[in-house]
Amino acid sequence: MTETGDRAKTPATSVAEDAAALEIGRRLYLGPCVFEFGATTLAALPEADLPEIAFAGRSNVGKSSLLNALTGQNALARTSKTPGRTQQINFFRLGDNRQTLVDLPGYGYARVSKKTVREWTEFVSLYLQGRSSLKRVLLLVDARHGFKDLDRDLLKMMDKAAVSYQIVLTKADCLKPEALAARLAETERESRTHGAAHPEILVTSAKTGSGIPELRAHLAMLAQPAEFH
């Protein structure tokens, strides 16, 4: 198999290859994780007291499924066959006050008025640009389709605002290895043109669990420090 193909099957990195980092990630993300709050306005946002990781992406990209797989739960974030179901910013407190996971409203397919879409877009943009506790945004991209125009709009906004983000390909199980390798290479080429993007792209499948331990290891590095025994 080619080097690109190997990377597509197993998104190994200096972090993800470290057994200790994988174990820290496993303990943190398979520990307690509870819903904290759902906000529909900036004024309603909870206090920014913990490092936050935000999950962004198009509706039906698999955000809820990835959150559930990441935390080892079945219903932490509700999955739905109706795209655009999440209509607020949902906060989940993780690991004995170590980190907060933030589920942002999906974009692209919501069956709501244009006015409501504009309001959501402004709300999410203001959160992303003004949240002091936000450590990283995970931009989820469906591996079957790659970047869409709305994804690129968000990338440009985060670049301009110097918001740190990392691209995560989802639904990797839906592609054959050769097609997945090609998608990864294509995504890497485009991501290199964006200044605020993390250099490593992770490839995941909530269905098979592929790439989930590596994702945990990456995100655990951004959590509130704690001793693991």
pLDDT digits (tens, 9 = 90+) for 3-61: 344 444 444 445 656 899 999 999 999 988 989 989 999 999 999 999 999 999 998 89
Distance, CA of 159 to CA of 70 (rounded, Å): 26
In-domain check, residue 96: yes
The candidate with the shortest Cα–Cα distance to 91, out of 127, 60, 142, 58, is 127
Domain holding 140, by residue range, is 3-220
Residue 213 lies in a domain: yes
Number of domains forming the structure of the chain: 1
Query: Does some domain include residue 225?
Result: no
Asked, for residue 34, whether it belongs to a domain, the answer is yes
156: pLDDT strictly greater than 60? yes
pLDDT at 226: 64
Q: Tokens 């990456």 label which residue?
A: 218
Structure tokens at 18: 């470290």
Residue 82: how many other CB atoms lie within 10 Å: 10
Lateral strand order in the sheet of 202-203: 33-39, 89-94, 99-103, 52-57, 134-142, 165-170, 202-203
Cβ-defined contacts of 189-193 (< 8 Å, 24+): 190/147, 191/167
226, part of any domain = no
For residue 81, tell me if it sits in a domain.
yes
Count CB atoms within 10 A of the CB of residue 26: 17
Alpha-carbon gap, residue 211 to 10, rounded angstroms = 7
Tokens of 99: 């980190």
Cα-atom radius of gyration of the chain, to the nearest Å? 17
Residue 228 is assigned to a structural domain of this protein: no
227 falls within a domain:
no
pLDDT per position as a tens digit, 104-155: 988 876 566 788 778 888 999 999 999 999 999 999 999 999 999 999 999 9
pLDDT value for 59: 87
Quick one: average pLDDT of 91-114? 84
Q: What is residue 121's predicted lDDT score, i.e. its pLDDT?
A: 86
pLDDT value of residue 54: 98
Kindly tell me the burial class for residue 1, based on how many C-beta atoms sit within 10 Å of its own C-beta (0-12, 13-18, 19 or more): exposed
How high is the pLDDT of residue 181?
98
The tens digit of pLDDT for each residue in 182-197 reads 999 999 999 999 999 9
- For residue 84, give the CATH number of its domain: 3.40.50.300
pLDDT at 14: 56
Q: What is the pLDDT of residues 197-213, one digit of tens each?
A: 999 999 999 999 999 99
Residue showing tokens 């955000």: 63
pLDDT at 77: 65
98 pLDDT higher than 80: yes
